[in-house]
Structures are given as structure tokens and as C-alpha cells.
Amino acid sequence: MIKITKLLGIAVTVGVVGYLGLAGYVYYHDKQRITMPDQASLSPQNAAVLKTLSEKGCDYCHTPSAQLPFYSQLPIAKQLMEYDINLGYKSFDLTPIRNSLINNSRPPQGDMTKVEWVMQHDTMPPTRYTALHWAGTLNNEERDGILNWVKDQRIKYYAEKDMAPALMNEPVQPLPRTLPVQADKVALGFRLYHDPRLSGDNSIACVHCHQLGAGGVDGRQTSIGVGGEVGPINAPTVFNAVFNVEQFWDGRAPDLQKQAGGPPLNPIEMASKSWDEITGKLNQDALLKQQFTAVYPEGFTGDTITDAIAEFEKTLITPDSPFDRYLRGDDKALTAQQMHGY
């Protein structure tokens, strides 16, 4: 029994010494690997946040090319670290935030909000990481520094000027009441949006699937195209589509104009064979052609038609909802239940 106890004591001692030695090396490695850009090029606040993120090793799991310690190639440690890195990078890529800090530029709004949530709820770094990376834990001063940076960036780059001062750090903003548009293009876009000649058999216009009196949709599970063709996609609303970061459900169009160019040539939607087919029909309308060339001297083309439609769709916004009014300072715009939901 005494011999077993002695052996256990030796094993525990060896384990503790090994752990302390490895943790000490990791601490030294974490400190030595940090490289900061020229401090003179950074604002003091950006420099402080970048230093915190670097010292805590956030880039280990949230950037694609961090310098890892030697033990990352050892059996077991290698598999565990690869799992953490793959999961961390898949969950959140820190690169855009780091670039904005280094370049003193606008950080992505969604990325800032993720960082803010993590700081507020103390979910990072995980215990498994800090068990070995003793320098990885953030203190209250460091968390507050990051949260204050998020607040300042949000107010500087994203907050609408008419928001209530106390709400300017909210991660959402009210929709603007208007957007700058060209009225003559809007008028042409309105006509083309309702013009069935954009379809192959002159039966379907944009408004067929995006009805302005029905929430910008057709109320169907999937839309019906030329000749009764049943499409595979539920028609998204055109209202507030201008604020989408990408268009279509799969994001394959970067803006409204590119989106407007899709359905006319889709064989199971509007089913025109080419833009030449469409422009040939529109050119036969002498009055529309005269009005159109007054705004677009080059006449009817795929680009000019979709530009006009996109300009019209920029006007399809729904400002001054109760939530918008709340963000602008109307404390009575939302019910207690709605506030609880928010």
C-alpha cells in the first residue's frame, strides 16, 4: 500500500510538473509571437483592442493562418486543436475585424455585434483554452475596452442621425424615411415593373409574383410562371429589398439591378429568350421609347431596363413602423410584451 501511494504521488508530481512546464512554455510562446503593426498608424483605441485580441490568442481559432505552438503537431493535441480551430473559424472569422482595426476603417456591423455578444455573455475564450493558455482570460477592463470600441464604431459608422441618443448603440437602426432616387427613372421603372412584355408570351410582369398590394409577394408556396409552369422558389418580398446585403434566397445577385435581370430570362418564370426579344417589343411602343430615350439615350437594353426597375424598387420601403418610432425615441410605440420580445 505504501509503495502504491508513493508511486501515485510520483505520478501526480510528474503530471503537475509537466502541466506547469507546458503551460509556462505556452505562456512564453503566446507573449513572444505577438506582432503589432506600427502604433503610429493606429488610433489609441484601435491599438488597445488589437493588442487585447492578439494577447488572448483569439486568432488561434478565428483566423486561417495563426502561428501555432510546437505541441500542435503532437498526437492527441493535434486532433483536439484542429477540431477547435475548424469549429472556431467556421463559427466566426476574425479577419475583417482585425483589418478594420489595423486600417482604422469601418468594421462589419454583423461581426461587431457577434464580438459584442461574446463580451457581454463572457462566452470566450472557452475553459479548455484558458486551462493551458493562462494569458487567455480577459479581465473586466479588457472586456469594457472592446465593448466601448464596438459602441464608438457603431455610432460613428452605422447609427442613423435621427435615432434617440440613448439608443444609438443598438445593433439595429430604423429604416430611413426616404432614399435618394431619380424620379424620372422611378417612373420608367414603375411602368416596366408592370409591363408583361418582359415575358416571352406577354402574359406575366414583375408584379405578377411581387404584388404591391399583397406585401410584395404572390401568396403562393411557389410561384407560377409562363404557361402555368410551377417554379421551385417562394417569391421573396420586394419591400425593403434594397436593404438586403444580397438578393435572391441564395444570395446569387449582389444588388437589385442584377436581381431584376434574372426572372425575365428564366425559362420557368417569365421565359423570354433574350434581351433582344424584349427590347424588340418595347421599341415598337413609340411613346414609351420616346420617354425612355429621354432618360437613357442609349435606349432599351438589358442594363437600362433593369436599372430603371431597380430605381423604382428603391422606393418600396416601409418606414415609420412602431419599432422604427421606438428607435427614434417614442417610448410608447411598443407594448411591454413587444419590448420584452426585443
pLDDT tens readout for residues 95-142 = 999 999 999 999 999 999 999 999 999 988 887 776 666 777 889 999
Integer CA distances (angstroms), 104 to 35, 51, 138, 150, 241, in order: 17, 14, 23, 13, 30
Nearest to 311 by CA among 245, 252, 244, 241: 241
User: Per-residue DSSP letters for 259-270?
Assistant: HHTSGGG-TTTT
- d(C-alpha 20, C-alpha 42), whole Å: 36
- The model's pLDDT over 5-38, given as tens digits with 9 standing for 90+, comes to 665 666 666 555 555 565 565 555 555 555 666 6
Q: How far apart are CA 330 and CA 318, in angstroms?
A: 17
Residue 39 has what pLDDT? 62
For residue range 302-313, list pLDDT tens digits in order. Answer: 999 999 999 999
Q: Please state, in angstroms and as integers, the Cα–Cα distance from residue 99 to each residue in 31, 103, 166, 194, 289, following that order.
A: 21, 6, 29, 45, 48
Higher-pLDDT residue of 27, 231: 231
Residue type (1 letter), 40: A
Q: Are the CB atoms for 150 and 112 separated by under 8 Å?
A: yes
Q: According to the model, what pLDDT value does residue 7 have?
A: 59
Positions marked active-site: 269
Surface-to-core class of residue 210, CB atoms within 10 Å of its CB (0-12 exposed, 13-18 middle, 19+ buried): buried
Average pLDDT of the residues of the chain? 88
Residues with Cβ within 8 Å of 139's Cβ and at least 6 positions away in sequence, in order, are none
And the C-alpha cell for 244?
438586403
Confidence at residue 243, expressed as pLDDT on a 0 to 100 scale: 95
Q: What is the pLDDT of residue 23?
A: 56
What's the confidence (pLDDT) of residue 5?
67
Bond prior to 125 in cis (omega within 30° of 0): yes
Copy the grid coordinates of residue 340: 420584452
Write the DSSP string, 164-214.
Answer: -GGGTTSSS-PPPS-----HHHHHHHHHHHT-GGGSTTS---HHHHSBGGG
Fold of 183-313: Cytochrome Bc1 Complex; Chain D, domain 2 (1.10.760)
Task: Indicate the residue type of 65.
Answer: S
Is pLDDT of 55 > 90?
Answer: no
Average pLDDT over residues 276-293: 98
Q: pTM for this one?
A: 0.76
Res 232: pLDDT: 93
All structural domains of the chain with their residue ranges = 2-158, 183-313
What is the structure's pLDDT at 169?
95
Asked if 151 and 49 count as a contact pair (C-beta separation under 8 A), the reply is no
pLDDT of residue 269: 97
Cβ within 8 Å of residue 63, ≥6 positions away: 89, 93, 94, 95, 98
Cell digits for 265?
A: 430570362
